[in-house]
Amino acid sequence: MLNKGIFITFEGPEGAGKTTVIAEIYKRLAQEGKKAILTREPGGIRISEKIRHIILDNEHQEMDGRTEALLYAAARRQHLVERILPALSEGEIVLCDRFVDSSLAYQGHARGLGMDEVMSINAFAIGKTMPDLTIYFDVPPEEGLRRISKNDEREQNRLDNETLQFHEKVNEGYQLLLKQFPNRIISTDASKPLSEVTENVWKIIRSQLITKENS
């Protein structure tokens, strides 16, 4: 399938501020008359949201790492075929809060399952579909966790209960991905004020849109 739209994903550690910034980007695109959808992983559609609840439920502390990786891939597959691909085929801009890079960083590196192994699981789920652009929200793990502890409105989930060491490993995983995919993943300093982060992300996306329009 030839995608006519643009697939943009947003990655980063817990507490990086992605959700707030993405919502503002979506609003700005709408104001410019751009056709866009805002979605998330795991979730985005009914079946995947149910899988999300299973993965992130605080009562499921005994969940095995491979089970976790497989559940993420299953949710991703359903989300892709039901939500992402149809939107791209209609020429829409897809803004997705997390995609396959999260699995590579969290389960592949931080859980120690191996990034290549987790990629093979996800290759079965997503085929050759990869983001056109990924924006990485770079913030120190301890800062992200501090933000979470202060935000009473944020959804508290099983991953929030992991140790600082785990979240440091997640950060390591993302740094590896930045080196592996320098043409796709662009990093932004998410430790700066939210308004500044939003402006930086907007500039990155506007540049991508201009490139697409001129191609």
Domains of the chain: 6-214 (3.40.50.300)
Q: Which residues of the chain have pLDDT under 70?
A: 1-3, 152-156, 213-215
What is the DSSP secondary structure assignment for residue 156, as one 8-state letter?
P
| Cα radius of gyration (the chain) | 16
Taking each helix axis from N to C end, the angle separating 164-180 and 141-150, rounded to the nearest 10 degrees, works out to: 120
Rounded Cα–Cα distance for residues 168 and 112 (Å): 13
Q: Is residue 94 a contact partner of residue 55, using CB atoms and an 8 Å limit? A: no
pTM summary value: 0.92
Q: Is residue 18 a contact partner of residue 8, using CB atoms and an 8 Å limit? A: no
Amino acid code (one letter) for 161: N
State the Cα torsion 72-97-154-104 to the nearest 10°: 40
Rounded Cα–Cα distance for residues 149 and 126 (Å): 34
Q: Is residue 11 a contact partner of residue 137, using CB atoms and an 8 Å limit? A: yes
Q: How many CB atoms lie within 10 A of CB 91?
A: 11
